[in-house]
Structure 1
């Protein structure tokens, strides 16, 4: 337990709109390098140009988007700055334009990510059992050997490899048979990537009847953790036959692009005579991934939790949410929320790096929309870094979230990124606790 704060301030009810400035600025995040900068140093570190119309104003809290141009030939990267107390102008109607509108306003052409022939529907094979060696190549795909991969069913309907399960998309699937001498590989090229942006690859997989296949996936030669049917990610997954006319397994992974085109490689590492079936590849950028789902708003208000100090490792359920203290012994549920109760950084001084995780109880994905925050006095509060994660990988990060006002305010980062975890991490210690309430999410479902 850390020492108590010096103040003896009592809780203050909501006193209405904020009247005076005094918030500390939040850190900007350069998603390309991972570096973080304080607002007053932005113009020194990068030639940033403020896009004036892109400013959203709430009481003394605004969100601005800056354009960073590293060189004439470099791609455009975006840094999001949460500026608490920024005195700049508000956009007409107070709305923050979305990514698409912003790009249109600046004349930025955003590439469309794609995989050629993602469902193996281009062309057909006639010669049994469907090997490339006997029938010719497959558009968009290259194997480590022509003698152990191909298409099924062949044109007469025979399907010796794809012999179970319902074909996910179209009438054909790709198959990759194991190699007696080691791994077998099948690769395609992902194009239209924006370096520094995060992408989700999803595809369907199955195994030939009576086979069990150890599958790995690499991006530009680097193995990536993959999730099977929404389970925990790992560097390899075992694919078993789904049987009958059941749907194929769902496989997904997340990666951050480093160049505009990168290789995606499926690896059959089982050995012996075992075959994996693959189909229906999707390459989804942040916005495209989110737009494939319907977002149902859900609010986390901590009303269903006991007012208590949360011990390290504590797990608490509040409706459809699960909170878990990953580190630290100062996280606390307190009264005087907005309304109801609030999650606070505690009366004690927390340690830098103390963290708390918020997930859906069903493990599903969601969008993060906004939160309310305040402190007890006009003294600066502890600061938080808010991370949005998917399969354990950070997709967005906002640092320096803090307050120095006792009135509730609403912070709206507005990220259109599908995630499965929000991680709250202490990144600075202040004279007062930081209090959070009304975290609003968009639950995603097909």
Structure 2
């Protein structure tokens, strides 16, 4: 069963250490404020109506400029007032979410705009087996404990140390009860409350991209993560590439690209087939086959790359033999046509466009399923998701769209 996820984003601080009249959460990286970056990151995992921002009402004009249209047009929950301390602000956000009745809640600091989907996914996955989970990164510096006079008392083994990050994830009722119990006793993070109760909290891998903005000069450091890194040095050829280039009679390859697009409407059901796996949902996708919109788009992309028409020409929907058929056989057929021509699939990329179900927790399984169908390495497969910002039929949750691209290498035979 899918868990209902809510998010508390703490943005009530004045940022006294930041050293600027404008609070740090309202400074921009690129064309978005730190707070906006955070909100949009979580919109890939839950509806805007499940995201609760906690703010300082003295910053109302800044908040309206940063998030105004997300509240008016996309249903972001109106921000609630925080307190003098972080813990007071978090409990304000948790209490405001009672009406949403989430199973799990993620608590995130607005000063960490670089949160990436992989970290969120790892935290949520860990909550399947524990009451709390936090992301952390290993400590690489040697840590010394000193007394009040600055004298070293001991060296702390760093092998067991982790620097905590957010979002910290919890079962909602567990963390709400903990905050209520320890109200007024300020602690450095939310996991500390569960530690006081003897509740196990798991630490999963965080990301250096998820650094915290504390002082003004942190903006450029954290902002650098949002800029594309320079191209890496030329890598060694993939084993498949090397093997093909050594085949007799082959002097070189030509590379071709193809694209595909598909849509399917929702119908009554309890799961959707997406990129080769069944994703629990309150509806299914309607179609003559199993309506796997991701595999259909990808099939068309591969067929397009080799100029072999489209999926409807190879598997006509008017043909009853394809009624209810598994879409993996369509994709295998397209891959087989590439192989018959002595070619190979270099890489494929699929984008699923929908509000729900949430795709992020399933992308790794989808990548593996597609890789298995195409008989290629998983590092040649990418699956991602986006929303249409509540616009159009996908925004109204009437169905799902998918677009895909495929890169194909075909041999140029020597004369």
Larger relative strand fraction: 1
Q: Tell me the TM-score range normalised by the shorter chain.
A: under 0.3
TM-score w.r.t. the length of structure 2 is 0.26
